[in-house]
Amino acid sequence: MNCPAVVISDQGREFLEKGQMWMYRNNLLTCDENIEDGAVVRILSEAGDFVAAGFYSACSHIAVRILSRNEHEHIDRSFFEKRLKAAFEFRKTTNPDNLSNCRLVFSEADFLPGLIVDLYNDILVTQISCAGFEQRREMIYGLLKNVLAEEGIVIHAVYERNDIAAREKEGLAQYKGFFEPTDLKPQTVISENGLKLNVDIENGQKTGYFLDQKSNRVLIRNMARGKKVLDCFTHTGGFALNAAFGEASHVSAVDVSETALKQAYENACLNHLENRMSFIQADVFEYLDELKSGEFDLIILDPPAFTKSRRTVMKAYNGYKRINKRAMELLANGGYLATCSCSRYMETSLFEQMLKEAAAEAGVMLKQVSVTQQNSDHPILWRNEETSYLKFYIFQII
Helix intervals (H) in 95-194 = 131-135, 137-149, 166-169
pLDDT, one tens digit per residue, over 175-209 is: 999 999 999 999 999 999 999 999 999 999 889 99
Please tell me the predicted confidence (pLDDT) of residue 306: 83
> Please, which residues have CB within 8 angstroms of residue 7's CB and are 6 or more apart in sequence?
28, 29, 30, 31, 43, 44, 45, 46
Rg of the chain over all Cα atoms, to the nearest angstrom: 23
In the chain, the domains with their CATH numbers are 5-68 (2.30.130.10), 77-185 (3.30.750.80), 210-397 (3.40.50.150)
> What pLDDT score was predicted for residue 332?
86
Residue 312's pLDDT band, with cuts at 50, 70 and 90, is confident
Listed residue (283, 223, 289) closest to 257, CA to CA: 283
User: Residues near 302 by Cβ (< 8 Å), separated by ≥ 6?
Assistant: 213, 231, 232, 233, 234, 235, 238, 239, 338, 340, 342
Q: What's the DSSP call for residue 332?
A: P
Q: Is there a catalytic annotation at residue 31? A: no
Mapped onto helix, strand or coil, the DSSP state of residue 243 is: helix
pLDDT, averaged across the chain: 95
Q: What percent of the chain has pLDDT over 70?
A: 100
For 341-369, the pLDDT digits (tens) are: 998 888 999 999 999 999 999 999 999 99
Choice among 31, 130, 232, 342 that is catalytic? 342
At 331, the amino acid letter reads L
Q: Nearest-CA neighbor of 191 among 166, 165, 211, 170?
A: 211
Residue ranges in 200-245 assigned as alpha helix (H): 214-223, 238-245
Any idea what DSSP says for residue 53?
E
Coil, strand or helix: which one is 213? helix
Question: Do 280 and 287 touch, CB atoms closer than 8 A?
Answer: yes
What residues does 392 pair with on adjacent strands?
340, 372
Of the candidates 163, 159, 151, the residue with the CA atom closest to the CA atom of residue 100: 151
Q: How confident is the model at residue 233 (pLDDT cuts 50, 70, 90)?
A: very high
Reported as a single tens digit per residue, the pLDDT across 26-71 is 999 999 889 999 999 999 999 999 999 999 999 999 999 999 999 9
Contact assessment for residue 268 and residue 248, using Cβ atoms and an 8 Å cutoff: no
Band of residue 373 on the pLDDT scale cut at 50, 70, 90 = very high
Q: What is the pLDDT of residues 249-269, one digit of tens each?
A: 999 999 999 999 999 999 999
Per residue in 108-118, pLDDT tens? Answer: 999 999 999 99
CB distance 109 to 384 below 8 Å: yes
Higher pLDDT: 2 or 181? It is 181
What residues have CB less than 8 Å from 142, skipping those under 6 apart? none
pTM, to two decimals: 0.94
Strands 336-341 vs 391-397: parallel, antiparallel or unpaired: antiparallel
Distance CA 383, CA 387 (A): 9
Mean pLDDT of 81-97: 97
The residue type at 310:
R
Is residue 282 scored above 90 in pLDDT? yes
345 contact partners, CB below 8 Å, separation of at least 6: 307, 308, 309, 310, 313, 316
